[in-house]
A and B are shown apart, each in its own frame.
Chain A
């Protein structure tokens, strides 16, 4: 007889709610949670491929300690006690010799991040970092400079929008099921979709308007849109008067940026820019200028992200149905907050962070996430101090930080590399100790509090017992903590203990999750009064176009536009992106997903390819200024701008144990130069210029 378990997917970080059917301790069926609006059973390819992950024999199956050179694949099996003792002994020695700050802990933000942060804080190291800055650091900073909120505190009300504008936000391939269905529902009711991207994605093929913009010129387009909007008085005047500070400065700033000027930069005809500004303004305030998710393309990223948020402000769409909203949390729903172990009374480490986040290198970046792109620099230069050990918790420094060869070289200087992972990732294979984590179907995790218009709580429950000798991440951290004499900060034995601790102030009981797998804390959507009571967290309580946060740090709010340099003859701008069937760097070896997209291809414009004698389907060599190269098949197409080439992120793997994806396609991280937006905090992933030749 089948049992059903409500849980949360974790094939990607969206964490869709799922319903799992289990028979004889094996998963027979996974579907989207049928009770959740916008999901109603739906699950993406990655979600269904969770079964292939669960049963995969090509994932780590027990703790392993390296016996040969790093990355050589020579391991011995260890018991958990032995592996954990080994790591703890090494760490004790390193901490005694170099201080706790010589340990850095990198992870992809997950439901147990409050536990890993506790671990580092209790050890006295400030060096916990997440993947976030690599993904959207500049979006985060842009929101804070203008509104005082971070980007995860902002959501989009797609369902009621009348015009949605996406700048390379390839929403139908880099997908979130709920958002897509809300958006399709809005489009069914007549909402318009404008899509702007040098490449024709699936999203472009669904749009009402598509512009193949010249790469790296989106900011010029936005300044011209603001120019037209302000010149013609198309903004939501009442809203702007009430909530926007610095309009005069903006007006003066955009005066020279005419549509004719932008047409030269972007390749979009001036009259189309004017027509679009008028059309989108007619739909205000139910307008969404999407501010981007992986907002990390060029060193001026902060200004692009700010310009997008400012366009929303001019449309009056911030905290407006059919526009953007600030997410309401437990307190707004009249509940106590969900408890976090990191809020225990633990002294804050006094040394500065290794990455200069919120300090020397990135003064206004979000230091609660850090800036992982500084990892190689800090290790190699011992700047600001020696780094000796890295714990990578399902974080991939060798696939997500630009210049991965440079990162690998820096890692060689470390005395200890520990990987906690469900996959044989690049870093797992390069580690000294590999601590295999149970998959999301085999473990429970901390409860997820989802802020939003209707705050909700979701829970990941184990569906089946572990297939192999693997453990949950929270258990691994606690065991290390015990061995490092900070065990008192992990007062739990089971996941139920964690859940009960988290729920203690909320008035919610574990049993409340039984029926549908989640708890909704508000019947009605919680909006602030957009006329009187939007609680912006800036010093002025308004949207600050001339931002206190920017100006106080010495960054101008409106520096004159400087173009990102055009690629010289023979070079292309390397753009990267996503497909609907893979998650970043983590699913390339999945049996089912690998079958659908086994390798990446290099999109290259038909004429540009012809000029180089490159034929469709032929292998080409892509060369980076770093001296690194990649071999990849060419996809010759009219549907990419001639100045750019494109490849999917996350391929070109080098771990032989992942036989399905081993050496398939090219690695983008190997080709990308490590250049950053120093204000916003993101690496500039699309800034590298490459050359391409047939092989």
Chain B
């Protein structure tokens, strides 16, 4: 598993899809591939109010990825220092084995290059001390990027505060 994680605060996400365009415009992608996709679910009635969820689906950067061993050329690889799963485009031959192997649909087809493209947490930006494009420009700042343990800690603290003082919100948020 990559040491990083993107946490999505469903209460703040408004499903505006800006993260998808931030990603595509940053990587200069053509029509087709959607590396981090928002999947809207609902609306459905929860009590007397309608609720909808917008589930953010980037690559999970698995600890033991299905895609890496499936790749016959070594193009799909895992960065040793932080576990980011990425494609070396010079080695990709467009065989689509990784697309077949991934249970989550993370590797995407780039029809312009005839190769695979996937979420790499914008590792070129990370290496400059920046955050992934989707997180940097999220309209409501509902996406949070960080090391696994930091994000997890933040999440529990936030939840604890809600449970302590605003239990009704915890119930109505989903």
Shortest CB distance A223–B (Å): 24
Shortest CB distance A647–B (Å): 18
**A 158-196 binary contact with B (CB < 8 Å = 1; else 0):** 000000000000001101010011001000001000000
A205-213, A418-426, A522-530, A531-539 - interface stretch? A205-213
A320 to B136 alpha-carbon distance, docked (Å): 34
Shortest CB distance A691–B (Å): 27
* A42 lies within 8 A of chain B by Cβ: yes
* B50 lies within 8 A of chain A by Cβ: yes
Shortest CB distance A211–B (Å): 10
A42 to B12 alpha-carbon distance, docked (Å): 13
* A541 lies within 8 A of chain B by Cβ: no
A41 to B141 alpha-carbon distance, docked (Å): 9
Contact A51 B25 (CB under 8 A): yes
* B24 lies within 8 A of chain A by Cβ: yes
Contact A181 B24 (CB under 8 A): no
A204 to B15 alpha-carbon distance, docked (Å): 13
Chain B residues within 8 Å of A41, by CB: 136-137
A190 to B172 alpha-carbon distance, docked (Å): 13
Shortest CB distance A24–B (Å): 14
Shortest CB distance B165–A (Å): 9
Shortest CB distance B118–A (Å): 18
* B26 lies within 8 A of chain A by Cβ: yes
Select A592's contact among B14, B21, B43, B136, beta carbons within 8 Å: B21
A contact residues, total (Cβ < 8 Å): 41
* B138 lies within 8 A of chain A by Cβ: yes
Shortest CB distance A611–B (Å): 22
Provided the pairs A31-B136, A200-B50 are in contact, do residues A208 and B172 lie with their beta carbons within 8 angstroms? Answer: yes
Contact A181 B25 (CB under 8 A): no
Contact B31 A180 (CB under 8 A): no
* A453 lies within 8 A of chain B by Cβ: no
Provided the pairs A209-B49, A595-B31 are in contact, do residues A49 and B25 lie with their beta carbons within 8 angstroms? Answer: yes
Select B15's contact among A208, A580, A639, beta carbons within 8 Å: A580
Chain A residues within 8 Å of B89, by CB: none
A175 to B31 alpha-carbon distance, docked (Å): 25
Shortest CB distance A205–B (Å): 4
In A40-60, the 8 Å CB interface with B consists of: 40-49, 51-52
* B140 lies within 8 A of chain A by Cβ: yes
Contact B49 A44 (CB under 8 A): no
Give the nearest-CB partner of A31 in chain B. B137
Write the residues of chain A forming the contact surface with B, with a CB cutoff of 8 angstroms: 29-32, 40-49, 51-52, 172-173, 175, 177, 180-181, 184, 190, 200, 202, 204-210, 580-581, 591-593, 595-596, 639
Write the residues of chain B forming the contact surface with A, with a CB cutoff of 8 angstroms: 12, 14-18, 20-22, 24-26, 30-32, 42-43, 48-52, 136-141, 166, 172
Additional pairs, 9, CB under 8 Å, beyond known A180-B14, A180-B139, A205-B52: A43-B18, A43-B139, A47-B18, A47-B137, A49-B25, A52-B25, A200-B43, A208-B172, A580-B17
Cross-chain pairs A/B with CB under 8 angstroms, 16 sampled = A48-B21, A48-B24, A49-B21, A52-B25, A175-B14, A180-B139, A184-B140, A202-B15, A205-B49, A580-B18, A581-B21, A591-B30, A592-B21, A592-B25, A596-B20, A639-B50
